[in-house]
């Protein structure tokens, strides 16, 4: 498939992964329509960090995923939809579960309805490894049971099952990608790596929640490559595909790796307020990526060490954008 001239809608375009996806698509000649949540300031989110020469090619669409009419208008005339729009903070979902469900579940319903009404050729729906909950076996393949251990993960499970139902019931050409713990430049401080990096760069103390859980960390450039490979492949309608590294690292070990890059040790304090409720903590995530390798010929290219170096360098250059030490939900 050629991206030249292809009309693409990206929901959540102002977010972390979405902004990187838009930056990748535009130089390939795609006509990209960015759905960005409306604010009175006309905020474009993390797209502000995309070079202006690239950004001038964007078609802007301001609205809210919960507005079915707005989503349908955005989908008109598009060949491909990348659906990344969501409220993704797990701590925020403990505080505002209704907003999270309305955005993630009803918002996805609106995207599916729009894709159906507008006869979109393909819809790439973005899930999350959080839907698996704590691993019952590793590595976690696409057949692993789903378990809602937070309102956020439950909302993503609901969105995933809606996507499946629209394929089965209405033949909507949807494929679900399930990234494992994407990280990299532009990620907000609600995620663990920027939380560690910003505190390590500005002091000798790092405040975190639980240190024992392990995560499968995937650099954002590799996640974007995987998502585009799904769109470019044939015969994947109705499929769910993991995008992960196939390696795991504990939060405690992650601190050590980041400190080695920053250049000095830190004292780690585990704060109760940063911990998830006991039965809500996902203790282990480790992706089985054999399906992605077989169907997409995709595998991550950026090592954890190199990805962390790039991330630390970017955060150091944009430290004013963060509030080091402040717990952000």
DSSP secondary structure letters along 101-154: HIIIIIHHHHHHHHHHHTT-SEEEEE--GGGG-S-SSSSB-TTSPP---SHHHH
152 among known catalytic residues: yes
pLDDT score for 139:
98
What's the average model confidence in pLDDT over 116-141?
98
Q: Can you tell me the distance from the alpha carbon of 150 to that of 154, in angstroms, rounded to the nearest whole number?
A: 6
Q: Can you tell me the distance from the alpha carbon of 14 to that of 49, in angstroms, rounded to the nearest whole number?
A: 10
Q: Is the pLDDT score of 90 beyond 90?
A: yes
* Catalytic, out of 92, 132, 152, 322: 152
What's the average model confidence in pLDDT over 191-210?
97
- Domains along the chain with CATH numbers: 7-183+218-243 (3.40.50.720), 192-215+247-285+303-321 (3.90.25.10)
What's the average model confidence in pLDDT over 226-235?
97
Q: Can you tell me the distance from the alpha carbon of 179 to that of 127, in angstroms, rounded to the nearest whole number?
A: 7
Quote the percentage of the chain above a pLDDT of 70. Answer: 100
Specify whether the backbone of 259 is left (phi greater than 0), alpha (psi in -120 to 50) or beta: alpha
Instruction: Specify the 3-state DSSP secondary structure of 29.
Output: coil
Q: Can you tell me the distance from the alpha carbon of 120 to that of 78, in angstroms, rounded to the nearest whole number?
A: 6
The pLDDT tens digits of the residues spanning 284-304 come to 999 999 999 999 999 999 999
pLDDT score for 328:
86
Around Cβ 215, how many Cβ atoms within 10 Å? Answer: 23
pLDDT confidence band for 202 (50 / 70 / 90):
very high
Q: Can you tell me the distance from the alpha carbon of 49 to that of 65, in angstroms, rounded to the nearest whole number?
A: 23
The pLDDT tens digits of the residues spanning 241-260 come to 999 999 999 999 999 999 99
What's the average model confidence in pLDDT over 251-273?
97
pLDDT score for 54:
95
The pLDDT tens digits of the residues spanning 11-65 come to 999 999 999 999 999 999 999 999 999 888 889 999 999 999 999 999 999 999 9
What's the average model confidence in pLDDT over 205-216?
97
What's the average model confidence in pLDDT over 129-139?
98
pLDDT score for 1:
83
The pLDDT tens digits of the residues spanning 97-109 come to 999 999 999 999 9
pLDDT score for 41:
87
pLDDT score for 133:
98
CA distances from 223 to 19, 230, 288, 298 (A): 12, 11, 15, 10
């Amino acid at each position: 498939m050629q991206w030249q001239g292809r009309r693409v809608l990206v929901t959540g375009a102002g977010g972390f992964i979405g902004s990187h996806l838009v930056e990748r698509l535009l130089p390939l000649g795609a006509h990209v329509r960015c759905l960005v949540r409306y604010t009175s300031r006309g905020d474009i989110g993390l797209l502000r960090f995309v070079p202006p020469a690239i950004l001038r090619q964007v078609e802007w669409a301001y609205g809210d995923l919960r507005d079915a009419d707005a989503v349908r208008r955005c989908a008109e005339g598009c060949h491909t939809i990348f659906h990344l729009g969501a409220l993704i903070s797990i701590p925020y979902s403990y505080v505002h579960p209704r907003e999270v469900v309305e955005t993630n579940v009803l918002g996805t319903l609106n995207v599916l309805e729009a894709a159906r009404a507008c006869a979109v050729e393909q819809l790439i729906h973005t899930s999350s490894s959080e839907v698996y909950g704590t691993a019952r076996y590793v590595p976690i393949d696409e057949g692993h049971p789903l378990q809602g251990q937070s309102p956020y993960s439950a909302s993503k499970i609901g969105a995933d099952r809606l996507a499946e139902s629209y394929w089965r019931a209405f033949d909507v050409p949807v494929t679900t990608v399930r990234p494992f713990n994407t990280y990299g430049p532009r990620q907000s401080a609600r995620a663990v790596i920027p939380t560690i990096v910003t505190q390590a760069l500005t002091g000798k103390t790092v405040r975190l929640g639980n240190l024992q859980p392990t995560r499968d960390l995937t650099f954002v450039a590799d996640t974007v490559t995987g998502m585009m490979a799904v769109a470019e492949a044939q015969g994947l309608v109705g499929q769910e595909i993991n995008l992960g590294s196939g390696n795991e690292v504990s939060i405690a070990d992650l601190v050590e790796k980041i400190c080695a890059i920053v250049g000095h040790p830190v004292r780690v304090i585990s704060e109760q307020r940063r911990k998830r409720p006991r039965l809500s903590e996902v203790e282990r995530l480790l992706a089985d990526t054999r399906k992605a390798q077989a169907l997409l010929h995709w595998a991550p290219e950026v090592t954890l060490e190199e990805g962390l170096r790039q991330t630390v360098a970017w955060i150091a250059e944009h430290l004013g954008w963060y509030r080091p030490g402040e717990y952000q939900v």
